[in-house]
Amino acid sequence: MWSATVFTLYPDMFPGPLGTSLAGDALTRGLWGLEPRNIRDHGQGRHRAVDDTPAGGGPGMVIRADVLANSLDAGLQPDDQRPRLLMSPRGRPLTQSRVRELAAGPGVALVCGRFEGVDERVIEARGLEEVSIGDYILSGGEMAALVLLDACVRLLPGVMGKEASGQDESFENGLLEYPHYTRPRDFEGRDIPAILLSGDHAKIAAWRRAQAEALTRHRRPDLLPAKR
Ligand code: SAH
């Protein structure tokens, strides 16, 4: 079973929104597994401290290397094959192709940072790969982990209906998706494009392709192959 172990200071945030809808049904049906682990269980002293002031000074607090390492060592078997990802704005941005790769594997071990982040030495010593969900700063890695998990889980076998295999979606073919329409045929004087009602599947496919290309050129030219 595809499984996620999540290291966090806020285990109550899981499954959170992933307990409802598609991902929640799949969790109940045993199509994937989720184990949140509280980093604080390995905190220091009576107060189970997990963080300390940054070496060299500066604002904020940093999660201690020893505390996080102990939490990881207690939560992961030495032969665990799952990628160990640290949610981090410094990481390589998450893409749909990486999501496909992760969904095709055995699962993930996710580490959620808090405060200013985690001591660099635990990243090195435990081989954590930093992954970002975008160029903005969250208050913690939990939301980022939920985003990554949602993107992976919907691709697991049996989670989506077969008509919604996801092959046609934005990014799957290097393009944004074409526009969708459904009933009513006339909405406040706006008609569904006639070609979509023509029944000519080849023409419809060509129209959708052209729409997807135009949309991508306009909104996300960075997705198109570089012209040379
Ligand atoms: N001081 C850090 C930001 C810390 S934000 C910096 O400037 O890089 C606190 C935690 O939130 C991070 O450790 C990380 O786990 C998570 N986080 C914040 N933004 C994120 C993003 N864009 N993608 C993934 N995780 C993020």
Q: What is the CATH number of the domain that holds 217?
A: 1.10.1270.20
- As a whole-number percent, the residues of the chain with pLDDT over 70 amount to 97
CA of 54 to the centre of ligand 1 (A): 16
Pairing of strands 62-63, 84-93: unpaired
**Cα–Cα distances in Å, from 11 out to 8, 28, 38, 88, 112?**
6, 18, 6, 18, 10
Pairing between strand 190-191 and 186-187? antiparallel
Neighbouring CB atoms inside 10 A of 57's CB total 6
* Cα 135 to middle of ligand 1, angstroms: 10
Residues 66 and 27 in one domain: yes
Same domain, 149 and 173: no
Q: Using the 3D structure, point to which of 119, 153, 187 is the last residue of a domain.
A: 153
Give a yes or no: residue 161 inside a domain.
no
- Whether 135 maps to a domain, the answer reads yes
122 and 174 in a single domain? The answer is no
Residue 163 lies in a domain: no
Domain range enclosing 177: 168-227
Name the one residue in this structure whose structure tokens are 């889980």: 153
Q: Residue 228's pLDDT is what?
A: 63
Element (H, E) at 123: helix 120-125
The answer to whether residues 96 and 196 belong to one domain is no
Does 41 lie in the same domain as 148?
yes
Supply the mean pLDDT for the chain.
96
Query: What's the confidence (pLDDT) of residue 165?
Result: 60
Asked if residue 21 has pLDDT above 60, the reply is yes
Ligand 1, residue 111: give the atom nearest the CA: 15
What tens digit of pLDDT does each residue of 1-11 get? 999 999 999 99
* Number of domains within the chain: 2
For residues 25-42, average pLDDT: 98
Asked if residue 73 and residue 44 are part of one domain, the reply reads: yes
Residue 164 confidence (pLDDT): 60
Taking only the tens place, the pLDDT of each residue in 120-161 is 999 999 999 999 999 999 999 999 999 999 999 999 999 998
The answer to whether position 43 is within a domain reads: yes
CA–CA distance, 40 with 87 (Å, rounded to integer): 18
CATH number assigned to the domain comprising residue 140: 3.40.1280.10
10, 50, 53, 88: residue to mutate for ligand 1 pocket, most atoms within 8 A of CB: 88
Query: Do 59 and 115 share a domain, yes or no?
Result: yes
Q: Is 210 found in the same domain as 121?
A: no
Residues 21 and 112 in one domain: yes
pTM for this entry? 0.96
Q: Is residue 90 part of a domain?
A: yes
The reply to whether ligand 1 has any atom less than 6 angstroms from the CB of 90 is yes
Tell me, using a 6 A CB cutoff, whether residue 144 lines ligand 1: yes
Determine, yes or no, domain membership for 160.
Answer: no
Residue range 72-104, pLDDT digits in tens = 999 999 999 999 999 999 999 999 999 999 999
Share of the chain above pLDDT 90, in %: 93
Does residue 158 lie within any of the structural domains?
Answer: no
